[in-house]
A and B are shown apart, each in its own frame.
Chain A
């Protein structure tokens, strides 16, 4: 069975500082990996994904994530945090070549709090 771990319930960072939100995964075979963001009382918004190729993936709003196969990790990063980045972030995984529908498994979410 596939799974995602987001070890931090909350990450606090000062505006202007770099941020990292951690994600590790477990899946049979190669993964598709995703990051989504959820603002209060809103649906999830897609940020970025890893399919294959370059391990560093760039996404929306200046976010990027690095795929590390040996560590089974897909940490979300941003060089300079903004107060407006404060939200709930979800990592998700799906196995490639499953032969079935796109069943995503989500992590438990990490709340990012950016302060002035």
Chain B
């Protein structure tokens, strides 16, 4: 049973296109996250939702728009893709109210912008 799943696993697209990445978790968690891992493996949070409410919104271009239709899903839509958007995007989930809650990560989506 996959705990946190992402689709697609690989995404290759041209500059200027619009694309979406989907994430689903079956852990019953109430908080979900999007992270970006660059080519040097540096991992940085982008967004977080708790019970469908946006609670973390880091300094990310407006071209990136998250959407959480319910607690189990968090999607990421990217408009007008740029070369610098090429990275691996990870979805994660956790229990918000539990102290010291660890996050569970999906397998990642490798985005390549040509």
Binding site for B on A (CB under 8 A): 32, 34, 36, 38, 41-46, 49-52, 88, 90, 96, 100-104, 106, 108-109
Evaluate contact between B55 and A44: CB separation under 8 angstroms: no
Q: A43-B4, A49-B102, A88-B41 are in contact. Are A102 and B108 (CB under 8 A)?
A: no
B101 at the interface (CB under 8 A from A): yes
- Decide: B103 and A104 in contact? CB cutoff 8 A: yes
Residues of B contacting A43 in the complex (Cβ-Cβ under 8 angstroms): 4, 90, 105-108
Bound Cα distance A64, B69 (Å): 38
The reply to whether A49 and B100 contact each other, CB–CB distance below 8 Å, is yes
Size category of the binding interface on chain B: 20 to 34
Q: Quick one: closest B residue to A94, CB to CB?
A: B100
Cα distance, A102 to B104, chains bound together (Å): 12
Question: Taking CB as reference atom, which chain B residue is nearest A106?
Answer: B43
- Is residue B25 contacting chain A, with contact meaning CB distance below 8 A? no
Say yes or no: B50 contacts A42, CB within 8 Å: no
Could you tell me which residues of chain B, from 31 to 47, have a CB within 8 Å of some CB in chain A?
Answer: 31, 40-45
Give the docked Cα–Cα distance between A34 and B104 (Å).
12
What is the CA–CA distance of A52 and B99 in the complex, to the nearest angstrom? 10
Contact call B48/A51, Cβ cutoff below 8 A:
no
Docked CA distance A109–B41 (Å):
7
Say whether, besides A101-B48, A102-B94, A51 and B108 are in contact (CB < 8 Å).
no
The interface bits of chain B over 42-75 (1 if a CB of A lies within 8 angstroms of the residue's CB, else 0) are 1111001010000110000000000000000000
CB pair A102 B42 closer than 8 Å: no
> B48 touches which one: A41, A46, A103 (CB < 8 A)?
A103
